Chains A and B, each alone.
Chain A
Amino acid sequence: MATAEPGLQAGDGLPTITRDVLQNTAAKIGIRVSEHLEEEFIETLAAARDAMEKVLQMDDFYPIPDTNRYPRIDIQAVSPDENPMNAWATKVTVKDIQPDEASLKILAGKRIVIKDNVCLAGVPCYLGTDVFSDWLPKTDATVVTRILEAGGTLIGKATCESFSAFGISNTSFLGPIGNPYDKTRSAGGSSSGCGVLIALGEADLAIGGDQGGSIRLPAAHCGIVGLKPTFGLVPYTGIVSNEISHDHTGPMSVDVLSNALLLRAIAGVDGIDDRQIAGTPFPAQVPDYPTLLTAARTARSLLSIGIPSNATGREPGSTRKMRVGILKEGLEIEHMDPHVRDTVETAARKFKELGAEVVEVSVPGHIQASLIGRVQRVSQSNNLLGRANGTRQLYLTEFIEKVLPWTQEKFDKLFCNSANILISGLYADEHYPQLYGKTQNLFRKLRQEYDAVLADVDVLVMPTTPWVAKVMQPRNASIRDHYKDYNGLAESIQWN
């Protein structure tokens, strides 16, 4: 490709690599390529660009969903009459066309909705935003495939908050999602639609997503069971990422037993997602969670813990009471409503009546966890900038192409919280590029503090939210007003 002239032919649309392009690129980190090297650099940069263009023109590679066996039937937008809570994003029916076989499987007969950040091939994905509006994913998320292969029936997608980035249910462009108990109040977010549809009984089970509370907040506000599984236990493949160390997807349900059932169907490595860190079981090794629960037979038995046989010689059968630790600092976080605190504490103490030991434990660092967590979220905006992150996974490049490039129009449509994260991320990029790494280090320190406490107790208990569901601000309220109701909603990313 080398020619005598400085300045080489460009591929498609982008300006030719010239001295200016070269030096402007270098100037981004405040340096200049020496004059006598310019020609060589232009040549190598052009060669690199040429190679990039070639790969860009190749077909991308996505898992191919089995739409013959699991066809997408009756895809429809939901009319406002049928959608008083705005909880439905899209209705569709997807199930096995071989009902005899499906009827033998563990999710047979279950009506399941998925959060609208989960890919379901051929069905619109809105992600609670109108920054783009025409995204039809071409693949199924692993959780979708597993649900269908376990005999479940998908009945639609549940509205989620804008870019799954807010804990209050007033940010989706589809409209505010009302709490089933009081339509004016927040249903919690960002898996808001899932929480509402389960609470209303319109679906039996739901797949939510949780980065900073997005499964647990709607579960708490809607009075259902939401589980944020151990990081990596459930593959995040084919779901829009917020931040790779925050991404969780997990089951939401009316009760614990059906939650365990859905977890059993979706857990285990899928061989695609690097977020499934070492120690994650293969699907065949996933414990039979529902049976483990029913095998307990009584509450007292459920609150018993087996003493490892190596502690008692080789004799099985010794048990002790489960020790429930109430996290002192969990009750002391800022803005805590004393009614919420008392209710949670009373509920936790109930375990004593049922046969467990209940003790108070302290992790002083917990008070700072939400500050570090907030900084971790605002010190980078890789997902909004479409940046890769160095892990092996299914990259939803088609989604990035919808979001990028940013335009004024798109930016203006972005909900203020996401817009704020985008700006603060750019700022941190420039001024504190090491900060994100530091938050990860500090969380590791904090985890050691929790682990030390967990050596003595089996579970930690604390409130999910500091207050009961609040009356929602209008979507176009000031960012300050939005944050008044948002800052302090518990996060748990220090445990990821």
Chain B
Amino acid sequence: MLARFPHAKICMLAHRPRLSRLLHASRIKEDSRWPDWNVVIGIEVHAQIKSKAKLFSNTLTSGLHDPPNTHVSLYDAAFPGTLPHLNPKCVELGIRMAIALNSEVQRRSAFDRKHYFYADLPTGYQITQQYAPFAKGGFLKLSKEDISVRIKQIQLEQDTAKSTFYPRQQHTAIDLNRAGTGLMEIVSEPDLRSPEEAGDYVRTLQSLLRCVGSSDGNMEQGSLRCDVNVSVNRRGSGFGTRCEIKNLNSVRFMMIAITSEVRRQIDILQSGSSVPQETRGFDEDRAETYSLRNKEDAPDYRYMPDPNLPPLFLEEAFVTDIRQRMPELPDATRIRLQSLGLSSRDIDVIMDVDSGREVGVDGELRPGAVAYFDSVASGRDPRVVVNWITHELLGQLAFRKETFSDNPMTVEQMGELIDLVQSKTVTGTSGKEILRHILTTRTLNMPSQLAEELNMLATSDDTLLKQWCSVAISALPNEVDKVRKGNMNAINRLVGHVMKASKGAANAQAVKTILTEMLS
């Protein structure tokens, strides 16, 4: 696994300096868990690029459940004489993320070989862009707190194969399916100050990756992996020595690992020792980090320019073209939905569902909850539409333990249903019934037709209503008595009786009026 071998961090050339560097470095976060201490965190995120083919071969990328070693070309298996060919789709998906992170796409970048020996790395080296990344600079605004985290660089690199250890047989199996899949490594500056900010950072990054269609960003499934650099220092003194934590496979574990690492480092410093720079793993059961090895330096990796790959030139026109076809970014979506008069709660719900949508390969954008809302709300009251989607549709899907991607109800069906209820052609109660009917039967019939078939058209036929009211009055003498004595609440049971008899087609307000007249 890639995470086992860290990326040495070397400063080649000083970046164009910014005042913000001083401002960021001096940001102090009060934390009651460790008063008088500053915590400094930087994160390297490796996001698997959701491309159809691998980074340097035309082998299709694999899914989690594909049989082992079925997505392997001679190149992926490092046969002599094979040569890499850059997949332009990986570049495009990388650029999308660079644009979303306000990063500057470099006109010229290049690929290096980073050598290390491991069974899941057939070539003996990983092709990466450590020294000449395709994008530099940028920032990510966290979603929960008003903090902007600076991005140092984004680079393209290869994923490794996967090795699985079988303790009983005492052997390790290698699956080359993942070997050579494209990764983008997003390196942050050390701008984070607490485990919670780190969690927020990764979650915000995940939803951005999904939004632009660059990656699934799924930590549990391994399509997003984090290496976290943590250091602590006493207030007023400079940055401490950092340790890098590897192999974190959920945001929750990452936050626990950081917390435990912070405590460990503080203990060391308080005992008068100093923190050695090292790479550490995380034991999920014991919720603590453990030493893996001392930190490697760049010479250990014998970096060299890859002689088989030409430099990567990205002209402005190419980047502009991608910029113009970018999907709407979450910040912009939120502002747009706010301007439609939607409540923050509704926006949270709908955007949360949206960010969980499946990401298509090669950046194909699949419509999610926001797009569904936009289509239905076109020409309709957005607040009514969002109510139907968040309360009725999502509520019913959740009840059925289904997700939005399972939603069988078309935009046209939902639109017409809302129109029928708004025009009082069917009652709200009937409307909800029709919605449930569509989810259950997965019918493609339109709601107007269903209302007719199911006898749910709201009836304003007085004769029929009066008839149902008379039945109700004779069926519930006790309630009639109470109403006559002045307890008007009791009338609701009579109304309910009528509604049941009418299968929801009766207009409850009209029924109430008739009953009141009949009983007075």
Contacts and interface: CB of A to CB of B under 8 A. Distances in A.
A36 interface: no
Contact of B305 (A292, A297, A306, A316): A297
Interface residues of B, number: 32
B318 A296 contact: no
A317 B311 CA distance: 7
A295 B109 contact: yes
A317 B88 contact: yes
Interface stretch (B8-16, B204-212, B391-399): B8-16
A346 interface: no
B515 to A, nearest CB: 69
A310 B317 contact: yes
A308 B317 contact: yes
A316 B86 CA distance: 9
A295 B311 contact: yes
B314 A316 contact: yes
Nearest to A319: B310
A287 B321 CA distance: 20
Contact of A104 (B17, B317, B318): B17
B17 A106 contact: yes
Contacts of A301: 110, 305, 310-311
B437 interface: no
Interface in A282-322: 287-288, 290-292, 294-298, 300-301, 304-310, 314-319
B315 A309 contact: yes
Interface in A309-349: 309-310, 314-319
Interface string B296-310: 000000000101001
Which label, helix, strand, loop or mixed, suits the secondary structure of the A interface?
Answer: loop
A316 B17 contact: no
Contacts, number: 91
Contacts of B310: 301, 304, 317-319
A304 B16 contact: no
A290 to B, nearest CB: 6
A374 interface: no
A105 interface: yes
A310 to B, nearest CB: 6
Nearest to B95: A316
A287 B107 contact: yes
A319 B313 contact: yes
Given A301-B110, A304-B311, A316 B91 contact: yes
Given A104-B21, A316-B312, A319-B311, A291 B112 contact: no
B315 A308 contact: yes
B108 interface: yes
Contact of B13 (A104, A287, A294, A314): A294
A6 B216 CA distance: 92
Contacts of B106: 288, 291-292, 295
Contacts of B305: 297-298, 301
A106 B16 contact: yes
A19 to B, nearest CB: 65
B242 interface: no
A308 B91 CA distance: 15
Contact of B318 (A101, A316, A319): A316
B58 to A, nearest CB: 13
B12 A294 contact: yes
B132 interface: yes
A300 B307 CA distance: 9
Contacts of B21: 104
B467 to A, nearest CB: 70
A35 B297 CA distance: 93
Given A290-B13, A317-B310, 11 more contacts: A151-B17, A291-B136, A292-B108, A297-B305, A306-B108, A306-B314, A309-B315, A309-B318, A310-B317, A316-B86, A316-B91
9 tightest CB-CB pairs across the interface, nearest first? A306-B313, A295-B132, A104-B17, A297-B305, A319-B310, A315-B88, A317-B86, A301-B311, A297-B110
6 contacts: A291-B132, A292-B106, A296-B108, A306-B314, A316-B92, A317-B91
